Amino acid sequence: MVPYSIDYSALKEEIQKRGYEKLLLQFPEGMKIYATEIANKFREFEVYISTKPTYGACDIVLHPDKLTLQFGHSEIPNIEYPPNILFVESFSSASFANVASKFAKMAKCESVGIVASVQHVRAIDEVRKILKSAGFEVYVGDGDGRIKYRGQVLGCNFSAARSVDIDVDCFAFLGTGVFHAVGVRIATGKRTYVLDPFSNTVSDVEQEADRLVRQRYGAIAMAENAEKFGIIISEKIGQRRERLALAIKEMIENAGLTSYLFYGDELKPEDFYYDVDAYVNTACPRVTYDDYLRFKKPVLTPIELQIALKLRLWEHFSFDEIVEVD
């Protein structure tokens, strides 16, 4: 059984209103196991299941004769999407009552900011009530133009956390995995906990954040003597920061160094065997953080490049976030 709340009746009504007979279903990795079960709900249409990976609402698959249903993500408000894409928000029905109570007993803070991945934004109010009744001051922040819901964080945008970081002692992230929580920790400087309702655990990401920062400092040090830089630009609608890439190119060349622009869709590290000394990634930040060991050369974020070129102090290191795209 699919453990997400999906309104199939409303979906079909919208599909019929748009006049499509062919559907392309696109799923994040965590939902692919339910792909055929969900496809069964649309037997009256000609259904195709996309095998291409998707990393968020920034990464959509489109075909002119099909309506793409992208499951598991909400649209990014400041992106102008084409008409043949429909986002299917798939909210988890998991309760956070147990982990919120555990957090209330172990957290060493008095004021808490609550953030969540989109699948769990509906649980924010449940956790807020539990923590308030336990005596915490609770804050839920508003994000910037890339964020649809209060308290929502993306893997590339932590503005909802940053908007309340001055008010809180720590953050509670509602979701699974540590990447988003580590991003919140680095973006705000505040201790961050993962409240995972599936494993029924509460975990502090301090060690993971320290490990990531050490790894990033190592990459910066390796790139400090680079003479040729490759600048990576994504073709994906929600990741394309071409103006930033051109500004980086100018920055590199003003330093008397050489740069090249690399433009692509699927950015596979094993394909990057070019004659450069280091890369600067303007595409999805997770390419830099998750795939760094798969690249043969150091890969920097735009902020890290400034540190490598001695234009920014090491102490001013921060997480790469996408605020707007071209």
- List where CATH 3.40.50.11860 sits in the chain: 217-316
Record the pTM: 0.92
Q: What is the pLDDT along the chain (326 residues), one digit of tens a residue?
A: 778 889 999 999 999 999 999 999 999 888 999 999 999 999 999 999 999 878 889 999 999 999 999 999 999 999 999 999 999 998 998 999 999 999 999 998 999 999 999 999 999 999 999 999 999 999 999 999 999 999 999 999 999 999 999 999 999 999 999 999 999 999 999 999 999 999 999 999 999 999 999 999 999 999 999 999 999 999 999 999 999 999 999 999 999 999 999 999 888 888 899 999 999 999 999 999 999 889 999 999 999 999 999 999 999 999 999 998 88
Q: How deeply is 220 buried, as exposed, middle or buried, from its count of CB atoms within 10 A (0-12, 13-18, 19+)? A: buried
Q: Which helix (H) or strand (E) holds 113?
A: strand 111-116
Class of domain 217-316: alpha beta
Give the span between the Cα atoms of 84 and 65, in whole angstroms.
9
CATH of the structural domain 97-204, one choice from 3.30.200.20, 3.40.50.11850, 3.30.1490.20, 3.40.640.10: 3.40.50.11850
Tokens of residue 107, six digits? 């957290």
Q: Which residue has the tokens 């060991």?
A: 293
Q: How deeply is 314 buried, as exposed, middle or buried, from its count of CB atoms within 10 A (0-12, 13-18, 19+)? A: exposed
The CATH homologous superfamily of the domain defined by 4-91 = Diphthamide synthesis DPH1/DPH2 domain 1 (3.40.50.11840)
Beta strands at 22-26 and 170-174: parallel, antiparallel or unpaired: unpaired
- List where CATH 3.40.50.11840 sits in the chain: 4-91
Contact 119, 52 (CB under 8 A): no
The distance of Cα 190 from the centroid of its chain, to the nearest Å, equals 19
Give the span between the Cα atoms of 259 and 173, in whole angstroms.
39
SS3 281: strand
